[in-house]
Amino acid sequence: MSAPVLVLASASPRRLDLLGQIGITPDLVQAADIDESRRRDESPRELALRLAIAKAEAARGVLMAEPDGRLHGREAVVLAADTVVAVGIRALGKPSDIAEARRFLDLLSGRRHRVYGGVCVIDGAGKARARVVMTQVGFKRLSLSERETYLARGEWQGKAGGYAIQGLAAALIPFIAGSYSNVVGLPLVETASLLAASGIDVFNAAGDA
């Protein structure tokens, strides 16, 4: 039986890099186009989980609509993820402009917040498995110079909460409790476990190499 095709439902280069760290290279990238608006009374944890599942389902739907296309008759295992930065019950998305990024940094400055990473894997039979991982992150109190220098670097663009822990923000974050890779964009321990349950085991694959 042919090995399944691994499909990443995200165009994020960070998630591709993280998967590469554990020896996984998706066969296809099928970015999901969904409405990421938060629902009324939806918690940040619930939002991260729902969006991860919705992205996986959307990407799988596109692939199933072309059964003789890119899958070449093979089953698809679809991986999707979503990251939500939360301060209290407030969810911080990707800043729309530098002014919003500045507001986010002011809100994060000198306090701890939570990063929720939703992960969903749909196997070849259509069974969905999903998890939410939470990491606590603490920012130092930012000076005006630190804030403006960070904003000028542009790392806030396209990042949930307006920062990237793997970049200059590493010099602003003295505290983290939980999965570091979750803050970057994909909790690797949980992702590897979900993939293994769906037929893609990085450790068995490494042992067969």
SS3 123: coil
Q: Are 183 and 135 in contact (CB under 8 A)?
A: yes
Name the catalytic one among 82, 106, 123, 208.
Answer: 82
Dist. CA 188–CA 181, nearest whole Å: 6
Among the listed residues 145, 186, 151, the one whose alpha carbon sits nearest the alpha carbon of residue 167: 151
82 tagged catalytic: yes
CA end-to-end span of the chain, whole Å? 18
Dist. CA 127–CA 80, nearest whole Å: 14
SS3 47: helix
Dist. CA 114–CA 161, nearest whole Å: 10
CA distances from 37 to 5, 73, 82, 160 (A): 30, 35, 13, 13
Q: Are 38 and 47 in contact (CB under 8 A)?
A: yes
Residue 47 is encoded by which pair of tokens? 């939002």
Residues identified as active-site: 82
